[in-house]
Each structure stands twice: as C-alpha cells, then as structure tokens.
C-alpha cells in the first residue's frame, strides 16, 4: 500500500480528479481500466505545487507577482489568499497543459495535457511486467502513472536538468511513488537500466536517437513527439524500427542534450494560400519535410494527395538512415529525418 504525506487538499482534490477522469473518459482516451484507475488515484496536484499562467490581470498576491517571469503569473499551493489556492487546485485538474518551469522568460518544462497523456499511455500498449523508459521527467506525474500501472521497479525516467529531476523525486515521494529518476541526457537513454519494453518521450525530437533502439528488446514500442505529431515505432532489433504517426497533434518542448537530431530549419510560407498555412495538417507536413521540400513543393504534394491525414505518414529507422514517408516506406514520397548526433 502506498503511503502519501498528509495532504490538506485531499478531499477537494479527489472530487476534482473524478471530474477530470470523467471528462477524459468521455473523450474516449481512458478505455483501459488499468489506466483509468491510475488517473483516478494519482494526485496530479501534488506534482504541480505551483505553475505559471499567462499574465494580464492583477496577480494573486505580492508573492505571486515577485515569482512570475516573462509575463507569467505563478499560482501555488501555499498562497496566503484562499481564493488563489482555490484557483491553483482547480487549475491542477483542468484538462490542459501547465507551464511548470520558466527560465529567463522561456518555458523550460511543462505538465502535459492529461487527455493527451492518457492517449499516449494507451498507445504505448504496455503489459504487466513491462519495463518502461521515460524521456523527460517533467513534474514526475507521468512516471507516477506508469509506476501505478507497472510498479516502481519497472519505471525509469530521465531528464537533463537536475532541478527538474530533484523536484520530480520530491513530488513522486509525496504521492507515494518511487521509480528510478535519473539526471542525464535523455537522448542517450539509460543503459544501466536496459533492456526496455517501451520508451515514451515527453519532449520533441527531430530524429530517433539510436541509443533508444539499442536499449530496447525486440518488439518494444517507442512513442515520441516528432514534427507536430506522435510517432509510434515497433523495434525489430538494435538498428531497425518502423511505425506510423498517430492521428493526434502534439506540441512538446524540444529534447535538450547531445542527441535527437538537428532542429528542423525555419520555413517561410509567404505566397501560399491562407487555407493551407492555417491548416494544422499542412503545418505537420511542412515541418516533417523541412529541409527536403520547400513550402510550395509541400503545398503541391498536400493538394495532390488530398490533404493526407497524419496516419498516412510513417518513419523508418535502418542503421544510420532514418526517413519519413507517405503511405509506404519504399513508396514514391520519402524524406530524410534530421541526422542523429554522433
């Protein structure tokens, strides 16, 4: 039985959590009873004792005002104003992402939208006894969900920033979870905890770090944000993996460290119709093919192929080569992904 520290918000949080779970389930993202139980029992508010929201109004208190950065206002669990504490608790259980680390006015880390997390965990297809590597510890909440489902000893989470991993450990302990939390370059994986049955990244990559494949068992799944989508790969061996994008969009903070590929170049869409540049699926194609197709070539392809959905795209990893493709890995449309770091 897991032991949580005394929590003055426990009763109100339990009701807010039930409402959040009902909302996520209504959207179809909690079909697995094991994952529903995890979301019902893991207290998200313990993982976000403070978070930042966009400014624009009067801050809750002088403490909140002094702690904000770059136009952000901080809501926190120990605010002397009870109305601000209420806003913090309500915000912790809204189905939305939360900015949790802001440095020099820039977002460094965030807590992902719970419904997106539920969809990603479902897509990971874990089974009892699986060992999972998470890239990007964040607040520790996702690791807690994994640990609730699989057990502490089956979960490893890695983050480059020591401040983030220390906070994640503290949040996990407060909630009664103790997976392995490692400070290190997520692109390098965690070889001393390998092999893994699944790898899930909560930060965006431009290509698939080869170390992830090398640390996976044959048949393992890799789920990672790439372009503005989520790629799910099935690992064949240490050098080969392949899979398709999920239907959903996904926007994550980029992976920081020595791997994961070079960032996609900035693309300019001047001269293209607004119906294209405003279309989320076209922006996905544009980002995926950046460096291989110019925007007008991408637009021609998008029109010719009848505005293809994400599920028609996939990624193949074969040794040192990685490429994205439309419909078939060896079909007429393919584009190299960013080169992995040496």
Q: Which of 67, 109, 292, 318 is catalytic?
A: 109
**Could you give the C-alpha distances from 156 to 147, 259, 269, in angstroms and in order?**
9, 19, 41
pLDDT in tens, the chain (342 residues): 566 667 889 999 999 999 999 999 999 889 899 999 999 999 999 999 999 987 655 566 544 444 445 567 889 999 999 999 999 999 999 999 999 887 777 777 788 999 999 999 999 999 999 999 999 999 999 999 999 999 999 999 999 999 999 999 999 999 999 999 999 999 999 999 999 999 999 999 999 999 999 999 999 999 999 999 999 999 999 999 999 999 999 988 888 876 555 555 555 666 788 878 788 999 999 999 988 999 999 999 999 999 999 999 999 999 999 999 999 999 999 999 974 433
Q: Render the burial of 111-137: b for 16+ CB within 10 Å, e for the rest.
A: bbbbbbbbbbbeebebeeebbbbbbbb
Query: Cβ(45)–Cβ(114) under 8 Å?
Result: no
Token pair recorded at residue 120: 């990603």
Q: Is 109 designated active site?
A: yes
Predicted pLDDT at 5: 65
Question: Which CATH fold topology does 10-249 show?
Answer: Rossmann fold (3.40.50)
Give the C-alpha separation, 268 to 277, whole Å.
10
Residue 291 DSSP label: T
Q: Report residue 78 CA to chain centroid gap.
A: 28
Domain chopping of the chain, boundaries: 10-249, 274-336
Predicted pLDDT at 254: 87
Angle of CA points 243, 21, 244, to nearest 5°? 5
Place of tokens 């996905």: 284
Give the C-alpha separation, 268 to 297, whole Å.
13
């Amino acid at each position: 039985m897991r032991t949580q520290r005394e929590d003055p918000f426990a009763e109100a949080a339990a009701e807010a959590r039930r409402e959040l779970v009902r909302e996520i389930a209504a959207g179809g993202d909690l079909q697995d009873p094991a994952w529903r139980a995890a979301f019902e029992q893991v207290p998200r508010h313990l993982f976000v004792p403070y978070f930042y929201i966009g400014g624009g109004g009067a801050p809750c208190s002088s403490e909140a005002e002094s702690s904000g950065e770059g136009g952000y206002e901080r809501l926190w669990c120990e605010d002397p104003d009870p109305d601000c504490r209420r806003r913090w608790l309500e915000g912790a259980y809204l189905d939305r992402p939360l900015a949790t680390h802001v440095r020099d006015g820039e977002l460094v880390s965030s807590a992902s939208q719970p419904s997106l997390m539920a969809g990603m965990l479902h897509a990971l297809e874990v089974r009892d006894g699986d060992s999972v590597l998470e890239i990007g510890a964040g607040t520790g909440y996702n690791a807690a969900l994994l640990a609730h489902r699989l057990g502490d000893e089956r979960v490893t989470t890695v983050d480059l920033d020591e401040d983030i991993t220390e906070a994640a450990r503290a949040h996990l302990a407060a909630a009664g979870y103790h997976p392995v939390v490692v400070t290190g370059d997520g692109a390098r994986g965690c070889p001393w905890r390998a092999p893994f049955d699944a790898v899930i990244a909560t930060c965006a990559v431009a290509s698939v770090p080869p170390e992830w494949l090398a640390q996976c068992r044959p048949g393992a799944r890799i789920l990672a944000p790439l372009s503005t989508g989520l790629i799910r790969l099935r690992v064949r061996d240490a050098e080969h993996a392949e899979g398709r994008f999920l239907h959903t969009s996904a926007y994550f903070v980029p992976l920081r460290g020595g791997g994961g590929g070079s960032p996609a170049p900035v693309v300019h869409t001047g001269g293209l119709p607004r119906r294209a540049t405003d279309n989320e699926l076209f922006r996905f194609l544009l980002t995926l093919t950046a460096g291989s197709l110019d925007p007008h070539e991408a637009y021609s392809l998008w029109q010719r192929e009848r505005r293809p959905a994400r599920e028609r795209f996939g990624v193949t990893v074969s040794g040192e080569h990685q490429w994205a493709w439309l419909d078939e890995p060896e079909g007429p449309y393919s584009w190299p992904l960013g080169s992995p770091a040496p």
